[in-house]
Amino acid sequence: MVYLSRLISDAHLDKEKEAFSTSVYGSRWDIEPIPKYSLPDNEMPAKIAYKLIRDDLQLDGNPVLNLAAFLTTYMEEEAEKLMTENMSKNFIDYEEYPMTVELQTRCVNIIANLFNAPKNEDAIGVSTVGSSEAMMLAVLAMKKLWKKRREAEGKPTDKPNIVMSASVQVCWEKAARYFEIEEKFVYLSEGKYILDPEKAVELVDENTIGIAVILGSTYTGHYEDVKAVNDLLLAKNKKTGWDVPIHVDAASGGFVAPFVNPDLVWDFRLELVRSINVSGHKYGLCYPGIGWALWKSKKYLPDELVFNINYLGSNQASFTLNFSKNASNVISQYYVLIRLGRQGFTSIMENLMGIADYLASRLEATNKFEILSDRNGNCVPLVAFRLKAKDIHYDEFDVAHRIREHQWIVPSYTMAPNIQHIRVLRVVIREDFSRERCDLFVADLMHTIDYLDKVDKETLHIKRNAAGSWKALKSISLMTFDSQSHKTNGVC
């Protein structure tokens, strides 16, 4: 038998080529605009979609060289494997994934014990998407308890306020605005970059729902004096008959201080510390998406805020701002806690503090910089610094922009209100910032300073304008609103 073969026409070949190519860059999708703002009419091959998006993402900075962020950029392969294996689990499905819920319970117990929760009270806690959600839950609890006390006394409840440092992260301002709470700020002064306990307690009145104290300022890394605030506030509460509590924002320092500075008293050992938030995705050493809110006792979490619901056959108590969330982040936190233990956390945090102190010493030795952060375990692992010379033609923003050409991402910002004339550079020391990488950074930083010392003002002005135009171009699609934060920035 003889088989007949058909001659393939040019039109047919062109049609096949248009529909498919074994090479990503030989396909028609490579020369057409990638869909941006509306759903495309037709589908595209998976490898094409992957490659187009991946190519765009290559323009992002390298997370390893991002010295701006506290968020974890390294986890062990086993942790990543657990996360991948459980990405499809919705944490809220208690009945379907009871073991995942059990892991949250274990994490809450481990962290509560780390923060010295009293054994004779029923401490309670919950996982959150991050410290911002955790802090907002704590603010809601404080406001509700204050309101209940006021109502029981027959007093008005329309003017709640909260006392905090002007250096709080912007999420505190969000909470105050969203939940209609007046902000009472303790403003900072040059050389004193943390909350003044006496000034904070002076601001407390009968409408104060609580004082927020920061364990690890995002501006300079300092620990605020929780014990001093506690002692002064105890005396004021006793004198007035009020019951104003303390919430500790331990987003950055909660997984550092217990291991590097265990004698520092800041946690549930203090009588008025009723709630604490901490970020698992900062020095809890997990990838972004996990935080924790904890209360010293169940009595500090009003029943009215907790929803007892039956969801997919399971009775559950829920206190969150969201509903669904990925279970893999909780699982990764449990992995880190049992994998490292106290010994592992202590080794890592002591190494990070050692590198932070080493970097501060290296920078100080150049005689070019003034160090604003603390050392020897008295702050979180970061180095905040500014230019020492006052008569130079460049500033910290120029340094940050120029060193970006060496691939390093270093934030530059002005300090909190009342000391906005102070410009700061900050390097966050994370687990993957080794001493070798530290030396490379210092070398590139000094190359940057040498360049700026030599460049003339006119050239620098041109570069500043070019940088400003690029930032404007990147922000061209962003919406702006009249109501903005009074703060200079949202340092995190």
Better-predicted residue by pLDDT, 14 or 158: 158
What is the Cα–Cα distance from 240 to 233, expressed in whole angstroms?
10
Dist. CA 297–CA 27, nearest whole Å: 62
Residue 27 pLDDT: 79
Give residue for tokens 């990147």: 474
Using CA atoms, how far apart are residues 439 and 429, in angstroms rounded to an integer? 13
Q: 24-32 long-range CB contacts below 8 Å, 24 or more apart?
A: 24/48, 24/51
State how beta strands 161-165 and 182-186 pair.
parallel
53 and 116 in a common domain: no
pLDDT of residue 237: 98
What pLDDT, on a 0 to 100 scale, did the predictor assign at position 24?
75
Q: How far apart are CA 171 and CA 490, in angstroms?
A: 8
77: CB partners within 8 A, 6+ apart: none
312 shares a domain with 266: yes
* pLDDT at site 354: 98
Same domain, 85 and 205: yes
Determine what percent of the chain falls in helix, strand and coil, rounding each to the nearest 5.
40, 15, 40
Mean pLDDT across 446-463? 90
Place of tokens 């000094």: 446
Average pLDDT over residues 290-305: 95
Question: Is residue 50 located within the same domain as residue 139?
Answer: no
Q: What is the pLDDT of residue 92?
A: 80
Residue 69 has pLDDT above 60, yes or no: yes
For the cut 70, the answer to whether the pLDDT of residue 482 exceeds it is no
Cβ neighbours of residue 108 closer than 8 Å, sequence gap 6 or more: 124, 125, 126, 127, 292, 294
User: Quick one: pLDDT at residue 315?
Assistant: 56
- Could you tell me the CATH number of the domain that includes residue 202? 3.40.640.10
Q: 153-157, 325-329, 341-345: which has the minimum mean pLDDT? A: 325-329
Identify the domain boundary among 315, 335, 355.
Answer: 335
Collapse the DSSP code of 132 into the 3-class scheme (helix H, G, I; strand E, B; otherwise coil) and give the result.
helix
Whether pLDDT at 476 is above 70: no
Which is more confidently placed, 478 or 245? 245
* Residue of higher predicted confidence among 90 and 314: 90
- The total number of structural domains in the chain stands at 2
Is 415 contained in some domain? no
The pLDDT, as a whole number, for residue 98 is 86
Per-residue pLDDT tens digits for 202-247: 999 999 999 999 999 999 999 999 999 999 999 999 999 999 999 9
Q: What's the chain's Rg over C-alpha atoms?
A: 26
Q: How confident is the prediction for the chain on average, in pLDDT? A: 90
pLDDT band at residue 139 using 50, 70 and 90 as cut-offs: very high
In a domain, 292, yes or no: yes
134 and 180 in a common domain: yes
Helices (H) and strands (E) in the chain, counts: 13, 13
Q: How confident is the model at residue 177 (pLDDT cuts 50, 70, 90)?
A: very high
Contacts of 472 (CB under 8 A, 6+ apart): none
Residues 34 and 153 in one domain: no
| Domain assignment present for 234 | yes
At which of 335, 364, 399 does a domain end? 335
Please indicate, yes or no, if residue 105 is contained in any of the structural domains.
Answer: yes
| Enclosing domain of residue 41 | 25-58
Over range 105-121, report the average pLDDT.
96
Question: Residues near 314 by Cβ (< 8 Å), separated by ≥ 6?
Answer: 93, 94, 95
Same domain for 38 and 153, yes or no, is no
Residues 52 and 108 in one domain: no
Flag whether 421 is in a domain.
no
Query: Given a cut of 60, is residue 19 above it in pLDDT?
Result: no
Backbone angles phi, psi at 162, to 5 degrees: -135, 140
> Does a structural domain hold residue 492?
no
My answer on whether 158 and 206 are in the same domain is yes
User: From CA 338, how far away is CA 324, in angstroms rounded?
Assistant: 26
Residues 49 and 132 placed together within one structural domain of the fold: no
Give the pLDDT score at 23: 75
What the block records as the tokens of 448 is 């940057």
Instruction: Mention every residue, 6+ apart, whose C-beta is less than 8 A from residue 323.
Output: 92
Between CA 142 and CA 208 the distance in angstroms is: 9
319 pLDDT tier (thresholds 50, 70, 90): confident
With H, G, I as helix, E, B as strand and everything else as coil, classify residue 184.
Answer: strand
Rounded to an integer, what distance in angstroms lies between the CA atom of residue 45 and that of residue 16?
14
Q: Are residues 206 and 324 in the same domain?
A: yes
Buried b (16+ CB within 10 A) or exposed e, 461-484: eebeeebeeeeeeeeeeeeeeeee
**Residue 455 predicted with pLDDT over 60:** yes
How many CB atoms lie under 10 A from the CB of residue 430? 23
Q: Is residue 314 part of a domain?
A: yes
Q: What pLDDT shows up at residue 307?
A: 78
Closest CA to 292 of 136, 134, 132, 139: 134
Considering 308, 335, 362, which residue would you say is the last residue of a domain?
Answer: 335
- Cβ atoms within 10 Å of 11's Cβ, excluding its own: 8
Give the separation between CA 283 and CA 345, rounded to whole angstroms: 9
**Residue 29: pLDDT band with limits 50, 70, 90:** confident
Same domain, 185 and 220: yes
d(CA 107, CA 121): 18
Q: Is residue 194 part of a domain?
A: yes
Q: Using one digit for the tens of pLDDT, what is the confidence trace for 251-271?
A: 999 999 999 999 999 999 999
